[in-house]
Amino acid sequence: MDDETRFDRAIAAIDAANAEDPLRVTVAGEERPKELAHAELATAWVTRLRPDASEELLLAARAHHLRRWTIPRSSHPDGRNGYLRWRRELQRQHAADVGRILTAEGYDAAAVARVQEIVQKRRLASDPEVQTFEDALCLVFLETQLTDFATRYADKADDVLAKTMEKMSDTGRALASALLNGNPVSPPDAPSR
């Protein structure tokens, strides 16, 4: 099986799953399924942050919120503890879902485990690829959700922004600062690979 074809099929399967998202967002003037749009943006940010990104990192970026809408935030208690439990459950579910897709497309156990490790943000403090993944996710949040979040939760916006910036690398923070200051730092078009 050709690696390029396998990668393309895996991306297509992830995209097809995320295209089922009933939630919609407008990105670049086009209304799209939310998780599909965010997955494409995360892939584009990873490519910008790390032009030599591994196949596993690109797959993780594409699958980071795979079918997220199936476990709504309302399924867990309010408050920080409920939020953290929800996020952990989502990470496990995203990892399991992408594992099934990658296995079906012929990826070996080591590649599947690596993608799952990145999706679950294991070893964030010591793994450069996981840090790149985190930077990309933060940049997608800042690019697509911060304004709405700040409007709805003005009292929490500064704290959330500070915590978001704290999670990022120096490179990620520089891009985030430019983005927040209105400088054109949009990622390149989402690549097929």
Structural domain spans, the chain:
3-180
Amino acid letter, residue 172 = G
Amino acid letter, residue 28 = A
Q: What's the whole-number average pLDDT of the chain?
A: 86
CATH of the domain spanning 3-180: 1.10.3210
Is the pLDDT at 191 greater than 80? The verdict is no
Residue from 102, 65, 116 nearest 87 by CA: 65
Query: Which 3 state secondary structure label does DSSP give 10?
Result: helix
Is the pLDDT at 103 greater than 80? The verdict is yes
Q: Please tell me what DSSP assigns to residue 33.
A: E
Is the pLDDT at 151 greater than 90? The verdict is no
Token readout for 38 is 């965010």
Q: Where are the alpha helices (DSSP H) in 19-69?
A: 34-49, 55-63
Q: pLDDT at position 168, please?
A: 85
Q: pLDDT at position 157, please?
A: 66
Q: pLDDT at position 26, please?
A: 87
Taking a C-beta distance cutoff of 8 angstroms, is the pair 47, 187 a contact? Answer: yes
Burial 57-86 (b: 16+ CB within 10 A, else e): bbbbbbbbbbbbeebeeeebeeeeeeeeeb
Q: Which residues contact 13 (CB under 8 A, 6 or more apart)?
A: 101, 104, 105
What percent of the chain lies above the pLDDT cut of 70?
85
Task: Give the residue-averaged pLDDT of 60-72.
Answer: 93
Distance separating the N- and C-terminal Cα atoms of the chain: 17
